[in-house]
Amino acid sequence: MKVLVINAGSSSLKYQLIDMEDESVKAKGLCERIGMEGSKLTHKVPGKADYVEKREMPTHKTAMQMVLEALVDPEHGVLKNINDISAVGHRVLHGGSTYTESILVDDNVKKVIRECFDLGPLHNPANLMGIEACEANMPGTPGVAVFDTAFGMGMEPYAYLYAIPMEYYDKYKIRRYGFHGTSHMFVSGETIKFGKLPAGHQKVIVAHLGNGASVSASIGGKCVDTSMGLTPLEGLVMGTRSGDIDPAVVQFIANHENKTVDEVLNILNKKSGVEALSGISSDFRDLSKAEAEGNKRAALALASFKHRVLKYIGAYIAEMNGCDAITFTAGIGENDAALRESICANLSYAGIVIDPEKNKIRGKNVEISAPESKIRVFVIPTNEELAIARETVRVAGLK
């Protein structure tokens, strides 16, 4: 059984065709510059040279048509017929407070995705275009919406409500949602499976450390807290996002620099984080290199990033009254062994002991803690596409 996973952006469409028999990727690719000049499709099949097609893609519907053509093409295709695709899984950013789980797409689901345009203005309209493009090209093939916010819906009101007048929640559903939910769900689930964590000992903290970064706490796979909020701006110091900040900073900058609130928010989202602190880059490889060469601001940015990660991990250990496993994932979490070691060194109070040799292993699930460690520590590569494909099979009732 094959599942097509779609991640539609405003001018892009990423896809992966996954064979659910062995969860292998049969083909994947990207349509770029949809609706602009110079649009192109890059289609990759394992073991073959990349196929690139430059053709106009005025809409997501045309882009989707090209993807399907590529998938059944006699030369670079991997399917005989598009009917061999059993279902399509769609990454959707925001399900508002309506959807706590993935759901089979119908008119009502599309209506809710539309109602959430306000909450996810950059992603939800594009995600809906992706859904409609598939419906137009593959009528009859079930689609499943997998929401990035669904995992965070596990939080209790005391964790998700902001302490602001309740009317704003009642009117606009302003609350903490949390993002990277599909990754946190996948990685916390894999931690339980891979680590064989017994029932009753499944308090897991996941540190998803990428360009966008967040930490989650879950018990038995159910989220109890997560660091992102109404938007992905809250929480950790990120590549270009400030993370937690006193909202009065917004007022101060707006007044003193004669900027609108939107302009200041743009600065907090796109011109802050480790990039602003370092003055060099948002990329951790650049920062580590600069720090090694003695650059003080790169060192400051990295220290600040680590400080905030530790604050959240410490808070979540306290919130859950203990923790059974901490798992690192995403670009930085999976690759930056020095950072992991340094974070864990600061958790020795909680009895964490890292095995430096295991901490060097890359590219696969690995337990990096020593046998005597009181909290087990893992590195588990995230795989949001596979998580979406698994959800699609489950929700579409294909198994």
Residue whose CB is nearest to ligand ADP in the complex, by number: 331
The residues, any chain, with a CB within 8 Å of residue 257's CB and separated by 6 or more, are 264
**164 versus 292: smaller Cβ distance to ligand ADP:** 292
Phi then psi for residue 272, to 5 deg, are: -120, -145
Q: How far is the CB of 149 from ligand ADP (least distance, A)?
A: 17
Nearer to ligand ADP, 131 or 332 (CB): 332
CA distance 69 to 72: 5
Could you tell me which of 230, 231, 189, 194 has the C-alpha nearest to residue 206?
A: 189
- The active-site residue out of 19, 50, 107, 148 is 148
CA distance 35 to 352: 51
Q: Which of 184, 177, 245, 246 is nearest to 210 (CA)?
A: 184
Least distance to ligand ADP, CB of residue 252, Å: 29
d(CA 209, CA 331): 6
Residue 353: φ, ψ to 5°: -130, 125
Residue number with CB closer to ligand ADP (324 or 384): 384
* Helix (H) / strand (E) containing 384: helix 384-395
CB 288 to ligand ADP: min, Å = 6
**Buried b vs exposed e over 79-118: b needs ≥16 C-beta within 10 Å?**
beebeebbbbbbbbbbbbbbbeebbebeeebbebbeebee
For 3, 125, 291, 337, the CA distances from 399, given in Å and listed in that order, are 12, 31, 51, 38
Report the DSSP beta bridge partners of residue 147: 92
Shortest Cβ 180–ligand ADP spacing (Å)? 8
To ligand ADP, the closest distance from the beta carbon of 211 in angstroms equals 4
The closest of 311, 326, 343, 314 to 234, measured between CA atoms, is 311
Q: Which is nearer to ligand ADP, 129 or 330 (CB)?
A: 330
Retrieve residue 121's tokens.
Answer: 């203005």
Q: Does residue 84 have an active-site annotation?
A: no
Cβ 107 to ligand ADP shortest distance, Å: 32
CA angle 373, 376, 382 (to 5 degrees): 150
- Residue placing its CB nearer to ligand ADP in the complex, 285 or 394: 285
Alpha carbons 75 and 79: distance in angstroms, whole number:
11
Q: Give the nearer residue to ligand ADP in terms of CB position, either 145 or 287.
A: 287
Q: Residue 239 Cβ, how far from ligand ADP at the closest point, in Å?
A: 6
Interaxial angle between packed helices 107-115 and 124-137, expressed in degrees from 0 to 180 and rounded to the nearest 10: 160
List of residues contacting ligand ADP (CB under 6 A): 210-212, 239, 283-285, 330-332, 335-336
* C-beta of 283 vs 355, nearer to ligand ADP: 283
Q: Which residues are catalytic?
A: 148
